Amino acid sequence: MLEQQQAAGIRVEALAAQFQAQAETWAQRLGLPLVDEAAEFAVQLGAEGLQIQQLGPQAPGPVRVDFVEGQAAHRRLYGGGNGQMIAKAVGIAQGVRPRVLDATAGLGKDAFVLASLGCEMTLIERQPLIAALLEDGLARARGDAEIGPIVARMQLLTGNAIERMRAWEGEAPQVIYLDPMFPHRDKSALVKKEMRVFRPLVGDDLDAPALLEAALALATHRVVVKRPRKAPMIEGGKPSHSLEGKSSRYDIYPKKALKG
């Protein structure tokens, strides 16, 4: 993972003088330089928080985590509530709000949806840059009167999810949610801005079978795996059933029934 960061070439920069101290702090935390003329990416500090910007003439816009406005707000308000597929997949029902571990948190979009529906969420993100964006987004959202109580239900852990699940201490999560990056064959899928930025930094989750194995060993009630609709199942245990949407599906591995 660190090798990929170094190979991609990343620098940290402040977008205005008042953010220079923050930029220096993040550079130190992430082990990245403040000056690198050949960098392909920049971690930027500005008025809207922390963001990653791919550099170069054809680069898409910056990627940041924003739980208060934009896509997250729209999905929270108009996404379908308890009726949406992800809610059904993790077992949300009348009087049932499971404790969920999102072991592949990414930018926290799915975890935020589940937290907004009342689930207590633990998030694990192993890629340090993505974890930094998530940490920054959660910190900014805590100050919002409406969103603060939602992100209070989201606890972020960093590091390797497989190792963290194998060495888990305390009460085990009822549900573990996995959305691993998968090897790309369809170039049209790369159009999404986040994918264009993250794939050079993150790569694919080639250890997805071990991720599923660790999740099945830890979860008390079920494991849910989000996959592209036509993608094969992860090697390992077989799901009991799947919920299928237009572009993705949820493979469900039950252990015991969730009750209110």
Alpha helices (H) in the chain, listed in sequence order: 2-8, 20-30, 71-78, 85-90, 109-116, 128-142, 148-151, 161-166, 193-202, 208-218
Q: What is the 3-state secondary structure (H, E, C) of 192-234?
A: CHHHHHHHHHHCCCCCHHHHHHHHHHHCCCEEEEEEECCCCCC
Residue with tokens 């009726």: 83
3-class secondary-structure state, position 239: coil
Residue 186 assigned as binding residue: no
Handedness of CA 91, 66, 244, 182 (dihedral sign): negative
Residue 229 assigned as binding residue: no
Task: Quote the CA–CA distance of 7 and 90 in Å, as a whole number.
Answer: 37
Alpha helices (H) in 31-108, listed in sequence order: 71-78, 85-90
Task: Quote the CA–CA distance of 161 and 165 in Å, as a whole number.
Answer: 6
Residue 222 assigned as binding residue: no
Side-chain half-sphere exposure of 115, counting CA atoms within 13 A: 27
Q: List, as residue ranges, the binding site.
A: 125-126, 179
Q: List, as residue ranges, the binding site for S-adenosyl-L-methionine.
A: 125-126, 179
